[in-house]
Amino acid sequence: MAKRNLFGTDGVRGVVNTQITSKLALSLGAAASIYFDGRLAQRTNRTIAIAWDPRVSSEMLAAALGAGFMETGVSVDYLGVLPTPGLALILARDTRYMAGAMISASHNPPEYNGIKFFGPGGHKLADADEETIEGNLGLVELGNPSRVHGDEVGGAHRVENAREEYMAFVRQNNPGLSLEGIRIVVDGAHGATSYTTPALLRQLGAQVIEMNTDQDGKLINKDCGSTHPGAVATRVVAEKADVGVAHDGDGDRVIMVDRIGRRVSGDVMLYVMALGLAGEGRLTGNTVVGTVLTNLGLEKALEPHGIRLERTSVGDRYILDRLNEGGFVLGGEESGHIINMYQNVTGDGLATTLAVLGYLVRTGRDLSEIVDEVELYPQIAENVRVKDNSIASCPEFVAAVEAARMELGNAARLVVRPSGTEPLVRIFLEGKDTERLTALADRLKCVLLSASQQGEE
């Protein structure tokens, strides 16, 4: 099977009209159609659901992607602006769709966009499936063998109530939850949650203060949302709110803020949710699934409660794979991308918010009190921009990394990971001696940049 060159860790992603073009979207639609037809057409309707976030380029790419499907005779339902977990949940609950596609670049800035595919049940495709679709692009470029003629092409239909359908599903998953008397600041990052999160929180009785919820596609993720929680933290303190909620552009993440303005990471939210599920006897295997980057402090905080942490490679698909393999129900990442199998089969920022708030309501506890229970170890993260991520495999850098690990021993952790979506190599260190970790990060960064510059010569 051909190696993936186009698909990264979360679909196809890049700068619009550079890496991501309408021509590529058209071809991907046809290539994906060949794949889905071969696997699913005999068992489901030949209809694809397409949703998007509010980026300026999203509707252009959605139209092109849909045309690629329609030229093969597949019909397309356009669901409009919808959080990624909304598409996944609709696919999980609605059997009329053969598959789905999301147009979004998640937490990336406005000039980026991307395409990721979902199979029946709302599951993202496995690496091997994406390899097959990428291989089908060659067939499309040579002349799409699945193209139909005349009036056999697929039709297009615009679905007007997808957001309301998603919110209804989320509410059904949280029966009896009341947020009366809770004051919440919501930062929508100008993205797909700008309507859904404030609306559902208000339906449940919360007092909501909105910021960055105008769905301005030119501002999505810019100095706001889950990647820049300082803004919502300032607003929470100023408004004397109980909690703050900050999403990324497509709503599969959430970072929270406590009443005194402290960032509540995905690791801390996993702790809260694990306690909640364990207390109800629903945390299967008494296990939480994290990644190699999950803070050691979470592992230590869970231990007294008889809960263990398993680690996977970075990426929600690997977390989901382990959840399915082990029969577990809860896993996630520090970024706030958390999968709760009782709520959704992908990261769902709104569902995570309700799970955390539900625990606080049931126990009468304050989020700031719980934050103090998780002593997070200092972490140093360097994102080194390079020409080509493959430079991380060069002998000089590999040797420097091994030397650093030998020096650290068991006192700290070191993880090096090329980005799957950008030309970046991420250097991650965790331990109590921040001065030492910073010096090591600087040393590794210098070796990497030197090797990258030599590679350009």
> What is the spatial distance between Cα 54 and Cα 72, in angstroms, rounded to a whole number?
27
Tokens describing residue 87:
């598409």
What is the per-residue pLDDT for 143?
Answer: 79
Kindly state whether residues 34 and 142 are assigned to the same domain.
Answer: yes
Last residue of a domain, one of 160, 194, 215: 160
Instruction: Let me know if residue 282 belongs to a domain.
Output: yes
Does a structural domain hold residue 172?
no
Q: Are residues 20 and 147 in the same domain?
A: yes
372 assigned ligand-binding residue: no
Chosen domain end from 160, 195, 210: 160
Domain limits for position 295: 265-376
Please tell me the distance from the alpha carbon of residue 157 to that of residue 172, in angstroms, as a whole number.
27
Q: Do strands 424-431 and 379-385 pair parallel, antiparallel, or not at all (unpaired)?
A: antiparallel
Q: Which pLDDT score, from 0 to 100, does residue 43 have?
A: 54
Q: Which two tokens stand for residue 43?
A: 């068992």
Q: How many domains does the chain have?
A: 4
For residues 300 and 435, membership in a common domain is answered with no
Specify the pTM: 0.88
Task: Evaluate whether residue 355 is within a structural domain.
Answer: yes
128 and 146 part of one domain: yes
Residue 3, pLDDT score? 52
* In a domain? residue 66: yes
207 and 287 share a domain?
Answer: no
Residue 252: name the closest of 80, 93, 108, 456 by CA. Answer: 108
Catalytic residues: 106
Q: Is 250 annotated as a binding residue?
A: yes
65 within a domain of the structure (yes/no): yes
| Distance (Å, whole) CA 124 – CA 101 | 9
Q: Domain check: are 183 and 234 in the same one?
A: yes
CA distance 147 to 26: 12
CATH number reported for the structural domain that contains residue 362 in this entry: 3.40.120.10
pLDDT of residue 418: 87
Residues 383 and 349 in one domain: no
Give the whole-angstrom CA distance, residue 291 versus residue 289.
Answer: 7
Residues 151 and 19 grouped into a single domain:
yes
Answer yes or no: is 168 within a domain: no
Residues 28 and 92 both lie in one domain = yes
C-alpha–C-alpha distance, residues 74 and 61, integer Å: 17
The pLDDT profile of the chain, 457 residues, written as one tens digit per residue, is 345 579 987 899 999 999 999 999 999 999 999 999 866 555 557 899 999 999 999 999 999 999 999 999 999 999 999 999 999 999 999 888 999 999 999 999 999 999 999 998 999 998 899 999 999 998 888 777 778 888 899 999 999 999 999 999 999 999 999 999 999 999 999 999 999 999 999 999 999 999 999 999 999 999 999 999 999 999 999 999 999 999 999 999 999 999 999 999 999 999 999 999 999 999 999 999 999 989 989 999 999 999 999 999 888 889 999 999 999 999 999 999 999 999 999 999 999 999 999 999 999 999 999 999 999 999 888 899 888 888 899 999 999 999 999 998 877 889 998 887 678 999 999 998 999 999 999 999 999 998 887 765 5
Q: Does residue 3 lie within any of the structural domains?
A: no
> Who's near 148: CB < 8 A, 6+ residues apart?
71, 72, 73
Considering the domain architecture, whether residues 232 and 191 belong to the same structural domain is answered as: yes
Chain Cα centroid distance, residue 172: 23
Q: Residues 19, 63: one domain?
A: yes
Contact 171, 230 (CB under 8 A): no
> What CATH number has the domain bearing residue 446?
3.30.310.50
Residue 125 domain-assigned (yes or no): yes
Last residue of a domain, one of 376, 393, 419: 376
Whole-number pLDDT of residue 226? 97
Sign of CA dihedral 58, 59, 64, 66: positive
For residues 367 and 432, membership in a common domain is answered with no
**pLDDT at residue 1, as a whole number:** 39
pLDDT for the residue numbered 2 = 46
